[in-house]
Structure 1
Amino acid sequence: MSLLRLTFLGTSAAQPTLHRNLSGLAVKADADLLLFDCGEGSQRQMVRFGTGFTVEAVFFTHFHADHYLGIIGFLRTLGMMGREHPIQLYGPPPARRLLHQAVHLGVDTLSFPVEIHELKDGDRVRRSGYSVQAVGVDHRINALGYVMEEDGRPGRFHLEKARALGVPEGPYFGKLQRGEAVTLENGTTVRPEDVLGASRPGRKLVISGDTRPCTSLAQAAKDADLLVHESTFSDDEQERALETRHSTAREAARVARDAGARRLILTHLSSRHDTDPSKLLGQAREEYTGPVEVAHDGLTVELPLRD
């Protein structure tokens, strides 16, 4: 997988504002386009920010209305665009019941199959070159975070070693780089480990969904390239955070710090921080020394390959 790009479609908590839509995150993984949550208005944000509509799968963190009602209109739009191949919908129980209702709302039938899957903590969805794992988190209702992890990549190809072993340039180089052994014309077998360095870890993206800071997510986010964590409230709203089972920016930063995450992006902001999230950013930076920023609608981030 060469491309891993995030586009924040909505960064507001509970209700939309003039500047922020409801929860939605588009992730482009090479040819795949995934959505994580689909709040009301997500499809308009996809048009606005140019993500395209070729979504293969939608992963819902939970089923509070602000995280999933946008799927109703989005599926109808896909139908009007002539989609024929299936779309996969994933989420914690009661995903089957609620998403079935959403799919069949109204009198129009869809022109393509919608396949609904319920996930629990630890379940992993395999896709080409990467996986998405569900992580149980701490919210008012059944909720999941997600870990998107790229498969490990072969080590660097050592041209000089290959030449010294008599490997001719061309297709054999490609086979060795893909981890395949080759047999030369003189009968010598050259194995990938003869010409490749140590394997390199893939990238790791962790998305919290709505949650209190919790050990399960911190463990899942160990050494993540990026942790996207909700930060609905500031320090002076701690009581409200406890009541609603959300996190403050400071608490999100502590999760990133404890996990050893390489980068932190805060999202899912209360409307009181709509246009000025500086308080959230300042409190997060007191706990976490790595790169941290507050997401805004349309923010696009590409995660580079690891060395």
Structure 2
Amino acid sequence: MELQFLGTGAGTPSRERNVTSISLSLSEYNRGSWLFDCGEGTQHQILRTPIKPGKIEKIFITHLHGDHIFGLPGLLTSRSMNGATEPLTLYGPVGIKTFVETSLQLSGSWLTFPLEIVEITAGEVCNDEQFRVTAFPLTHPVECYGYRIDEHDKPGALDAEQLKADGYLPGPYYYDLKQGRSVTLDDGRVVNGWDYVGSSIKGRSLAIFGDTAPTAAAADLAAGVDVMVHEATLEVAMEEKANGRGHSSTVQAARVAKESGAKRLIITHLSSRYLRQDCERLLDECRAVFPATEMAHDFAVFVV
């Protein structure tokens, strides 16, 4: 899996950072991508990447502030004007359905693809063959969520050599055995896949926080994840101001990563007051607490 940051700024776009949107590529599963938030200008950012709007399967919205949703109407209508027919599911807090449907209706827009809008609460959001997504409530002036993405564990390696030694010659049924299923052969023999499959391979995990001040939910949202994405709107010297507006400082983001046992931290959602030359200082504030911290810039790609 790969994370690509389409916008890494807070509140308003700047010359160096657009507002929030993150893409998660699922190409290793022969699937398209998921989008987390869709701030104004997201479709313009996508034009500079390999992301195909028609292959976006799901969009997860953390909250309804404009810098996280104002790009939705444009992206949805452009997806239609380009002839997309693949279905898309949009998840977000209560109100996201009204926002999207009103925007499309008042602008006389139409969609060429099935759009399902799911208004979420805390808890499991979706669960498919490969992933489970859970929403956790955060601390912000409006209803806001963070999303935890857990990849299901994968079956271990199939011991093909032992199968052959036991008289089970290779065939299409090997696929079913690798999934741990029992197979009845043409000669009546029954083969239990679990007898020939090694230990399962633990799935990867990812936590993507929406905007938030320090919150108790962070411990469960990010517990032991491989990658944690967290806002770091302001430097530690401006921590009180950040918290007063429902945001976190650099050091607070790093503390969450350390205390939750995350393996890596990527900070994003930086105030437009910070320029490129300020980035190392902000990153150093995080690394003093949690050394495995990286900073996202627009179009940066991180492998999960």
**Which bin holds the TM-score, normalised by the shorter protein?**
over 0.9
Count how many residue pairs are aligned between Structure 1 and Structure 2: 299
Once the two structures are TM-superposed, the CA of residue 200 in structure 1 deviates from its matched residue by 1.8
Q: Is the 8 A contact 1:139 1:210 kept in 2?
A: yes
CA distance in structure 1 between the aligned counterparts of 2:68 and 2:186, rounded to whole angstroms: 59
Aligned to 1:24: 21
Aligned to 1:40: 40
Runs of 4+ in 1 over 4 A off after TM superposition: 184-187
Q: Is the 8 A contact 1:17 1:274 kept in 2?
A: no
CA distance in structure 1 between the aligned counterparts of 2:178 and 2:275, rounded to whole angstroms: 48
Whether 1:273 aligns to 2:274 is yes
For structure 1, which segment, 236-245 or 178-187, has the greater mean C-alpha deviation from structure 2 after superposition? 178-187
Once the two structures are TM-superposed, the CA of residue 274 in structure 1 deviates from its matched residue by 3.3
Cα deviation, 1:54-75, whole Å, max 9, x if unaligned, reads: 2122110001000000011111
CA distance in structure 2 between the aligned counterparts of 1:92 and 1:163, rounded to whole angstroms: 53
CA distance in structure 1 between the aligned counterparts of 2:97 and 2:73, rounded to whole angstroms: 14
Taking only the aligned residue pairs, the percentage that are identical comes to: 37
Aligned to 1:284: 286
Aligned to 2:216: 215
Give SS of 2:47's match. Answer: helix
Q: Per the alignment, do residues 201 and 13 of structure 1 end up closer, same or farther by CA in structure 2, a change over 3 Å counting?
A: same
Whether 1:132 aligns to 2:138 is no
Aligned to 1:162: 163
Once the two structures are TM-superposed, the CA of residue 249 in structure 1 deviates from its matched residue by 1.3
For structure 1, which segment, 263-272 or 89-98, has the greater mean C-alpha deviation from structure 2 after superposition? 89-98
CA distance in structure 1 between the aligned counterparts of 2:44 and 2:106, rounded to whole angstroms: 20
Aligned CA RMSD, in angstroms, stands at 1.7
Give SS of 1:163's match. Answer: helix
2:5 to 5, 8, 27: 8
Q: Is the 8 A contact 2:211 2:231 kept in 1?
A: yes
Once the two structures are TM-superposed, the CA of residue 202 in structure 1 deviates from its matched residue by 1.0
Q: Is the 8 A contact 1:12 1:274 kept in 2?
A: no
Q: Is the 8 A contact 1:161 1:194 kept in 2?
A: no
For structure 1, which segment, 260-269 or 185-194, has the greater mean C-alpha deviation from structure 2 after superposition? 185-194
Once the two structures are TM-superposed, the CA of residue 42 in structure 1 deviates from its matched residue by 0.4
5 Å matches for 1:73-92?
73-92=74-93
Cα deviation, 1:70-92, whole Å, max 9, x if unaligned, reads: 01111121121112343221101
Q: Show structure 1 runs of 5+ residues with no match.
A: none
Once the two structures are TM-superposed, the CA of residue 151 in structure 1 deviates from its matched residue by 1.3
CA distance in structure 1 between the aligned counterparts of 2:50 and 2:166, rounded to whole angstroms: 48
For structure 1, which segment, 276-285 or 162-171, has the greater mean C-alpha deviation from structure 2 after superposition? 162-171
Q: Is the 8 A contact 1:257 1:287 kept in 2?
A: yes
Q: Per the alignment, do residues 183 and 123 of structure 1 end up closer, same or farther by CA in structure 2, a change over 3 Å counting?
A: closer
Cα deviation, 1:117-166, whole Å, max 9, x if unaligned, reads: 10011132123411221111111110010011111110222233323322
TM-score by length of 1: 0.92
Q: Counterpart of 1:75 in structure 2: which amino acid?
A: L
CA distance in structure 2 between the aligned counterparts of 1:66 and 1:110, rounded to whole angstroms: 23
5 Å matches for 1:49-128?
49-53=49-53, 54-128=55-129
